[in-house]
Amino acid sequence: MLKIYHAPRTRGFRVVWLCEELGTPYQIVPVDMSPKYRASAEWRKLNPVGKVPVMSDGDLTMFESGAMVQYVLDKYGAGRLQPQPGTNDHGLFLQWVWFAEATFSRPLGEIVNHNREFADNPLAHILDEMKARCRLCVKALDAALAGKSWILGENFSAADIMLGLSLRGYLRLVDKEFPGNVAPYWVRLTERPAYQRAIAAETESAG
Ligand SMILES: N[C@@H](CCC(=O)N[C@@H](CS)C(=O)NCC(=O)O)C(=O)O
């Protein structure tokens, strides 16, 4: 069975949610998020830079949440939740998957790291700059979602899962609500039964 080494509200939620959407069996293995544990030799063996998540499937062990999502789609998706590879739609799917992590989640993660590492003296102008980058991502999403239910149109895909986790972080770290088309998109995402099951599984795993 897939094992997802995960801590609440972090990127492993993408894989948990995807497994819930696909009906793929998985188990959440809770991770101690303390910097001390993440720097330990035990954890660095699984993730060499001390981050979460990690996923294992038999004798395969992986880090990088987007790569895990793609692996699960390709191995267990049977064509669901991603367009046919090699098509224009798949190109746009990859664009939004990568945007969610490489462009949007990056400044969100840096806000968390800055607040932790410089808790005694957080630099407001640095935090403001990172928040501005996050708001620009939400503005891009607002424009891209015009007239659509999901980021690729009428079909929900794993790109929405990737983006959904970033939007979840945005609400916690940047602004308490979304503008324009992003607000109803967020409602649609969080009303999905698989999203709600993933939240329940995450909460239960945290004890
Ligand atoms: N690109 C990586 C980023 C992993 C990442 O930054 N994870 C965060 C939690 S969501 C973390 O472990 N942060 C702790 C740190 O960077 O010190 C992925 O998608 O898995």
Which residue puts its alpha carbon closest to atom 1 of ligand 1? 64
| 50: exposed, middle or buried (Cβ count in 10 Å: 0-12, 13-18, 19+) | middle
- In which band, very low, low, confident or very high, does the pLDDT at 48 lie, cut at 50, 70 and 90? very high
- Give 178-205 pLDDT, tens digit per residue: 999 999 999 999 999 999 999 999 999 9
Please give the CATH number for the structural domain made up of 2-81+195-206: 3.40.30.10
Give the Cα separation of 33 and 42 in Å (integer): 13
Cis omega before residue 48 (within 30°)? no
Compute the distance from residue 52 Cα to the ligand 1 centre, in Å. Answer: 5
Instruction: Among 52, 111, 162, 168, name the best residue to mutate to test ligand 1's pocket (greatest count of ligand atoms within 8 A of Cβ).
Output: 52
- Half-sphere exposure of 64 toward its Cβ, with a 13 Å CA cutoff? 8
Residue 60 φ then ψ, to 5°: -95, 130
Distance CA 169, CA 72 (A): 23
What's the pLDDT tens digit per position in 1-17?
999 999 999 999 999 99
Rounded to an integer, the average pLDDT of 111-120 is: 94
What's the fold here for domain 88-192?
Glutathione S-transferase Yfyf (Class Pi); Chain A, domain 2 (1.20.1050)
Query: 104 alpha carbon to ligand 1 midpoint, in Å?
Result: 13
Question: Is 114 near ligand 1, meaning CB less than 6 Å away?
Answer: no
Q: Which residues of the chain does CATH 1.20.1050.10 include?
A: 88-192
Angle formed at CA 135 by CA 132 and CA 137, multiple of 5 degrees: 115
Task: Extract the tokens encoding 161.
Answer: 């899962």
**What is the location of CATH 3.40.30.10 in the chain?**
2-81+195-206
Rg (CA), the chain: 17
- Going by alpha carbons, the residue nearest to atom 18 of ligand 1 is 64
Confidence of residue 54 (pLDDT cuts 50, 70, 90): very high
Q: Which protein residue has the closest C-alpha to ligand 1 atom 9? A: 10
Match 């720097």 to its residue by tokens.
Answer: 39
